[in-house]
Structure 1
Amino acid sequence: MSIHNEDQSSKLFQSQTHILNQTFGFINSMCLKCAIDLCIPDVIHKYGKPMPLSQLIASLPIHPSKTCFISRLMQILVQSGFFSQHNVTDYNQEVSYVLTDASILLLKDHPFRMTCLLQVILDPVMFNPWFQFSTWFTNDDPTPFYTQNEMTLWDYASREPKFNHLFNDAMTNDTRLISSVVIEKCKGVFEGLESLVDVGGGTGTLAKAIANSFPHLNCIVFDLPHVVHDLQGTDNIKYVGGDMFETIPSADSIMFKTVMHNWNDEECLKILKRCKEAIENKDKGKVIIIDTVIGNVKGDSESEQTKLYYDMEMMVLVTGKQRNEKDWAKLFFSAGFNHYKITQVLGFKSLIEVYP
């Protein structure tokens, strides 16, 4: 194939670069995981000021033969926005590094740290099914995860305590920021309610925050028996094990935090019908859903990309999907609910109130 002009060759090279950048995208994830494993964000944070490369190298638990590679690792972490680089000047002959807003969320003692979520997403158990993605399209398995493991993600978690603990820790850390914002900016959502069931509530991080802010509200954390086993309740929090597809404990309100996206439309419709049955007071009762709504944040391409990444993650790991507003509305009305309200206050996630 001949190249006839400079414009054609430029487009070819641009296309080649685009393909390679997409192909090498996993390198950003693996370099970030390596930085966390080596505690680089915490080491720089503890130093308290821009940290020279030599000081960083001396503080890391690495073999002496690997010291020359740290500058190259830091170079790509700077490029991807996780550290800021202070360049060499006449007065300072060595490059130094400081944290960015993103790497602050990777500190071990940060209340909203994201390290557990990153570790579980990049765990081989979650990552290996991607190698079955194309194979899955040629068979009748429910998910690539099933193709890889011959069981669902939920069955795997119930049989592997170590992975179950890692997964629950990730969900807990992901919930801390959401619960803080929900309590601060969405208090009206819970006003007038006397009872709430947090379905798929894990160890109860969100329910505890709500119960502390609304002591009159009786909360039930409802999840699979192996998740809530041996968890201790309080005066206004109770842990109940069960299957949301069979029955949901009765209450004024039923809450789902990033649960619906784990299930396909048929499964979600069944869950929502169980919710309608469980709502005791149809006048003030409602379903509260914290989940993504594709396309509802105009001009925010990074948030929309995150939602699409999550959509692919749901396809590979479970039977779920991310939904746009029309998808959500169809589910709500098909389940017999009358109207809904979407509030955009949780980053790329939304708070949806659904009324019977």
Structure 2
Amino acid sequence: MAAHHAPTMAVPTDAQLIQAQADLWRHSLCYFTPMALRCAVQLGIPTAIHRLGGTASLSDLVAALSLPPSKTPYLSRIMRLLVTSGVMASHEEGVYSLLPLSYLLVDGISIDGEASQVAIVLAATSRHYLEAALGLSDWFKKDVAPPLPAPFEDVHGATILEESMALLDPESDKVIHEAVAAHDNMGIGTILRECHDLFKGLESLTDCCGGDGTTARAIVQAFPHIKCHVLDLPKVIERAPRGDGSVNYVAGDLFHSIPAAQAVMLKLVLHFWSDEDCINILSHCKKAIPSREAGGKLIIIDIVVDPSSSGQILETQLLMDVAMLVCTRGRQRDENDWRSIFTKAGFSDYKIVKKLGARGVIEVYP
């Protein structure tokens, strides 16, 4: 058999080498962008700009944040990076305003039922997440029997969202739970507007891992005739607000039993779990709903990795996939991956209703 030889790369030109060196610096140092974002969040810069009327000069910010005036030139360098990376806007030198991204980081602003997304920044840039990522090469070298622990578990001896994390660092555990809640609930208003027919005709719905019921309450407000159940772990349900009783809270575990309903919703849940776990979860979902003829279906809102997406959307999807690799036993899935676990869990058909940014809305039928 003839040997296969890899093509030999041509020696880069001077122009290519210069560009490659600049690209190498950028890839090696780009972690300073999320660090600058974390700094801005911790200082309260987006909130300060909002309270100053939406536009603020450097001196305005220094005064509003009670920073030493001597730090003014250093703050300008952080702001310059945030402007260049698309976090802030600046139409006049030394004067800054918010963009939609930074508006998400203003304290006290409610968007689609969910407050600011600050916790996502703080969790993703936390010491625990970064140390887990630093352990990736050691994790790859270890030959251990399945189920493989995530690098996060390997480094910290704890699992995010579980009691072991609360024991390791209660404050970080609190931030991670807040980040997951902000991540899950953001955008439900857009989904209700853009995918209105998704809920039309439904009489009942169970929101699995529905947390404090923010999503369920938004659905009931838009469709008052739908009887909504929220299923989550007992420790989550204990803290959930009972409100006006429009939502029924159920303490339980989606790996064991799911309250019967015409539809079951899994919003940003399955990417935390391995394919085997997802098939198990989906099998329990199938038991909880009636036949397709009786209107039974799953509503899955999750990332659908799409190589044909725009560059930034695809990069976001792949970054989220590596985040799952580092911190959980789950992953982000493309359409073929989704189809495979639906089929293995006994479902007959599905359709992708709509793609909204990095997420997809999928109807799955028994």
TM-score, structure 1 normalization: 0.90
Structure 2 residue aligned with 1:241: 251
Distance 1:98 1:232, change over 3 A: closer
Structure 1 residue aligned with 2:3: none
CA distance in 1, matches of 2:156, 2:336: 34
Shift of 1:299: 4.6
Structure 1 residue aligned with 2:52: 47
Residues 91-121 of structure 1, C-alpha deviations (whole Å, 9 max, x = no match): xxxx322222322222113223321211121
Residues 250-305 of structure 1, C-alpha deviations (whole Å, 9 max, x = no match): 11111111101111111111111111111134421101100011117x35111111
Structure 1 residue aligned with 2:205: 196
Distance 1:104 1:183, change over 3 A: same
Shift of 1:153: 1.7
For the pair 1:288 / 2:299, whether they are aligned, the reply is yes
CA distance in 1, matches of 2:196, 2:364: 16
CA distance in 2, matches of 1:232, 1:46: 29
Distance 1:178 1:85, change over 3 A: closer
Distance 1:24 1:69, change over 3 A: same
Of 50, 57, 76, the residue aligned with 1:71 is 76
Unaligned runs of 5+ in 2: 1-9
Structure 2 residue aligned with 1:130: 133
The question of whether the paired residues in 1 share the 8 Å contact of 2:212 and 2:239 is answered with no
Of 45, 61, 65, the residue aligned with 2:66 is 61
Structure 1 residue aligned with 2:21: 16
Deviates more, 1:58-67 or 1:316-325: 58-67
1:203 counterpart SS class: coil
For the pair 1:107 / 2:112, whether they are aligned, the reply is no
Residues 30-74 of structure 1, C-alpha deviations (whole Å, 9 max, x = no match): 001111111112222222264332222222232344233111111
Matches within 5 A, 1:78-93: 78-87=83-92
CA distance in 2, matches of 1:13, 1:40: 36
CA distance in 1, matches of 2:334, 2:356: 16
Instruction: Name the count of aligned residue pairs.
Output: 345
Structure 2 residue aligned with 1:91: none
The one-letter code sitting in structure 2 at the alignment partner of 1:37 is: Q
The question of whether the paired residues in 1 share the 8 Å contact of 2:62 and 2:69 is answered with no
Of 310, 314, 319, the residue aligned with 2:329 is 319
CA distance in 2, matches of 1:230, 1:77: 36
The one-letter code sitting in structure 2 at the alignment partner of 1:115 is: V
Distance 1:197 1:56, change over 3 A: same
Structure 2 residue aligned with 1:92: none
Shift of 1:171: 2.9
1:154 counterpart SS class: coil
Shift of 1:338: 1.0
TM-score, structure 2 normalization: 0.87
The question of whether the paired residues in 2 share the 8 Å contact of 1:172 and 1:205 is answered with no
The question of whether the paired residues in 1 share the 8 Å contact of 2:352 and 2:363 is answered with yes
The question of whether the paired residues in 2 share the 8 Å contact of 1:217 and 1:236 is answered with no
Structure 2 residue aligned with 1:36: 41
The question of whether the paired residues in 1 share the 8 Å contact of 2:305 and 2:335 is answered with yes
Distance 1:61 1:274, change over 3 A: same
CA distance in 2, matches of 1:157, 1:231: 21
1:351 counterpart SS class: strand
Distance 1:78 1:230, change over 3 A: closer
Distance 1:7 1:325, change over 3 A: closer
Shift of 1:337: 0.8
For the pair 1:310 / 2:307, whether they are aligned, the reply is no
